[in-house]
Structure 1
Amino acid sequence: MKNIEPSATVTLPTLETPIHREQFDIQLVEMRCVAPIEFARPFYDATMGPFTSYRACFVRLTDRSGAWGECEFPATATDLLRHVFVSLLLETPKNTYEELYRKLYWGIRNEGFRGGAALALGHLDRIFHDLAARRKGVPLFRYLGGRSPRVRAYASGGGIHLTGSELVDECLAWEAQGYTTIKIKFGSLTTTVKEDLVRITSVREALRSETQLAIDANQSMSLPKAQKLSQALGSLDIAWLEEPIHSAALHEIEALCAHSPIPISYGESERSALVFPSLVRAGVKHMQPIAGHISSLHEWLSVANLARRHELTFSGGGTSHINASALAVVGGEALLEYLEPVVGVMASLLRVGPTVQDGYFTVPEVPGIGAEVDWERLEKKKQIVDRAVWKNDDQ
């Protein structure tokens, strides 16, 4: 393993976001969930599917000052919200965010820091950041020190349900729309290296030479299969090979990276920044944590800083219209995934959100995270299927 200098940690004081010193006195917690929205076509990747619909839940926090922040919240974590987070939010008035976050963080200790509870905390942290930026009257990316509202995007989809010709046509359409990096899915638990190579090569040969092609195996491969494939791809100019083997198999990841002629990418499955120095030691060349899935934006930004120090490429995904603000803070060559089957559905819920054009997201210059749900329209269409409200008892 490579040696990583002691500074490659997640406790860098220079990365503390301004929110840590601010005070909050949460008086109201609201949750609203939207009826599932069907995809135009079921979507598959190498290890999961069919993905047939998107169900979105949102949580709004209102401070005693009247300022509010709102963001998506995992539909699978609503019990955690009800039974753990709400009492901590409403019964700890006038805390600095650093103090409040510490209580929230240790409140999920018994759920583990690498699973769904940590992901839920990361979403809650984004809501607080939205509130803080709104309270200051500034866009979140500027509140966090970002300079430009523009974020480079890469087109993503290429599900394994597509035939070879459908896949090529989809990628060529993205290229025509201005995307200079494109990512496709490939493989499954049963495909052969030969079959995978046919799928990847057909797209690589159809795209312009200057268009970057990334490929995603969704952890479906064994180490020997991944080693064989990476060697075969050496001459194809692949931007990165994403999560070819199990994300927890660090020793196998290190063995793969040691001899791979193409960059290996990991991080999408992680919930804690504490894992990423180990990925650097293993030889991973492309970091891809998801804002909101890592347990705080502070930790997420520390991963971006880690990647910058080690001259690694960096991208983010998730719900792109919400995460565009985070990527705008990183700037530079950082990429934001435009997962076409999902992103369009999320955009349909919003009345305010980033624009997507010519391979870039542009975050609106409005206070907060830059994405607001059109609740009035959803109410009229009776698309809100679950809601709950919790108030501070002294209201």
Structure 2
Amino acid sequence: MFHIDENQKITFSKAIYYNFNPIKVKKPWRDATGGFGNYAPIQGWIQIFDTEGFYGGTFCSTGIVNNILPLILTGETKTYKEWYDYIYWKMRNFGFQSGQIVDLGQLDLIMLEIMSRRADKPLHRYLGATKDWAAAYKGGGSLLSDDEDLVGDMVRYVEEGYRTVKLKVGSDWGENMERDVRRVEKVRKAVGNDVEIAVDGNQVWNVGQAVMFADMVRPYNIAWYEEPVHSHDMNAIKEVKERTGMVISYGESMRNYYAFETYAEKGVGHLMPLVGRMSKMSDLMKIRQLSKDKGLRFSSGGTVWINAAFGALYDENELLENHEPMTEPIGDCLKVKPEEKNGRLYLPDIVGCPIRIDIPKLEKEGTLESMKCFYTEKNKNNFAVRAAY
């Protein structure tokens, strides 16, 4: 289910971009290959309006300001499909894995929200969802956490109602597998055998190392083995799958549907697109259908507060990633967001996207660094800032 009217006409009138000072995470964070440090990976928030006063908003980088706004704040009227296709091919020479193509994905999300607001519906209902919740798993497990903190977090996730948890592996840039195995063992003992445990290597190993680690953790019944080797080394991925027999998981580094077809061909057993990095939101549903057709596992990651709108379209066994170290500080920027309860995200009954940014709070706390307005030449003389929080 993904029902939209691609022929709806849109004339963009203005945009407001809010730039943030760095937003600290609750405690320093690190995965196997160095991400993401002391700060949440968001730079700002943008709202883009049509000439009827409807708008869409999302977290973004300045890329959408530099790459997208000059193309859409022209006063031209195009259909949703025409806008998307026009900009997609404008971005061609940057490459379809580029930051520019990700900026287009953010615009796609914004156009979907504009259309849902026109329909006076929550985004997930506009897209065709028949329920108001999304199932999720919870991830964390920073390599900077000691064993006690790690186990405590995983147990807490289970107590919160999550039946699948995920932790990072690849300690000391992949050289300390013994530490990783010890931590997996401790988590398994703490949460019991009825909870799924997934591990994420963040691409740190070569094939031989990845196979070695898989053999070491095999006794602990791993639900999936995420990104053990480079995400674009398709033959290495195929070899790891063939030599381990484990469910191998990939998708966060890819920007469009086509790459997931290759993953499926190479033996990836769990496809996991990331909402904030996809070039088109409807690709989520194409990847989901591909997973169903091939008998593969499917989940999607990204900012779970927004992702919940798409998760409401999924089945109960098709999970969102709730990556707590990132989602907590981002959630603190919001005054309205889905409710996290018993391993689900329950969406608020509001039109458009299921979140509302709290700009006054961010301004008061010093998180808001600046605000900048953009508008078409036609609207210049009549322009007034009316932020839609």
| TM-score using structure 1 length | 0.91
Deviation of 1:26 (Å): 0.3
Query: Partner residue of 1:62?
Result: 49
Query: Partner residue of 1:157?
Result: 140
Q: Is residue 2:120 matched to residue 1:137? A: yes
Q: In 2, distance between residues paired with 1:164 and 1:19?
A: 51
Query: Partner residue of 1:361?
Result: 345
Q: Secondary structure at the match of 2:378?
A: coil
Alignment of 1:338-353 (within 5 A): 338-353=322-337
RMSD: 1.7
Query: Partner residue of 2:384?
Result: none
Give the counterpart letter for 1:88 in structure 2.
L
Query: Partner residue of 2:201?
Result: 217
Q: In 1, distance between residues paired with 2:174 and 2:167?
A: 18
Give the counterpart letter for 1:203 in structure 2.
V
Give the counterpart letter for 2:160 in structure 1.
Q
Q: For residues 285-321 of structure 1, what are the alpha-carbon distances to aligned partners after superposition, in whole Å with 9 as ceiling and x for unaligned?
A: 1111011311011122211111121121111121110
Q: In the alignment, which of 72, 92, 111 is matched to residue 109 of structure 1?
A: 92
Alignment of 1:255-270 (within 5 A): 255-270=239-254
Deviation of 1:49 (Å): 4.2
Q: For residues 229-251 of structure 1, what are the alpha-carbon distances to aligned partners after superposition, in whole Å with 9 as ceiling and x for unaligned?
A: 22333332111000000001000
Query: Partner residue of 2:39?
Result: 53
Q: Is residue 2:83 matched to residue 1:96? A: no
Q: Is residue 2:24 matched to residue 1:38? A: yes
Q: Secondary structure at the match of 2:58?
A: strand
User: Which runs of 5 or more structure 2 residues have no equivalent in the other structure?
Assistant: 380-389
Between stretches 343-352 and 15-24, larger displacement belongs to: 15-24
Q: Secondary structure at the match of 2:128?
A: coil
Give the counterpart letter for 1:369 in structure 2.
C
Indicate if the aligned counterparts of 1:151 and 1:324 stay in contact, CA closer than 8 A: yes
Q: In the alignment, which of 2, 9, 14 is matched to residue 28 of structure 1?
A: 14
CA spacing shift, 1:52–1:193, aligned 2, 3 Å = closer
Indicate if the aligned counterparts of 2:17 and 2:46 stay in contact, CA closer than 8 A: yes
User: Which runs of 5 or more structure 1 residues have no equivalent in the other structure?
Assistant: 1-14
Q: In 2, distance between residues paired with 1:353 and 1:50?
A: 23
Indicate if the aligned counterparts of 1:59 and 1:127 stay in contact, CA closer than 8 A: no
> Taking every aligned residue pair, what percent have the same amino acid on both sides?
29
Q: In 1, distance between residues paired with 2:357 and 2:180?
A: 40
Deviation of 1:196 (Å): 2.7
How many pairs are equivalent?
Answer: 377
Deviation of 1:194 (Å): 3.3
Indicate if the aligned counterparts of 2:184 and 2:220 stay in contact, CA closer than 8 A: no
Q: For residues 140-175 of structure 1, what are the alpha-carbon distances to aligned partners after superposition, in whole Å with 9 as ceiling and x for unaligned?
A: 111111111111111111010111222112111111
Q: For residues 340-393 of structure 1, what are the alpha-carbon distances to aligned partners after superposition, in whole Å with 9 as ceiling and x for unaligned?
A: 111111111111110001111111121111111012333344432122211111
Deviation of 1:274 (Å): 0.9
Give the counterpart letter for 1:296 in structure 2.
K
Give the counterpart letter for 2:265 in structure 1.
R
Give the counterpart letter for 1:18 in structure 2.
I
| TM-score using structure 2 length | 0.93
Query: Partner residue of 1:333?
Result: 317
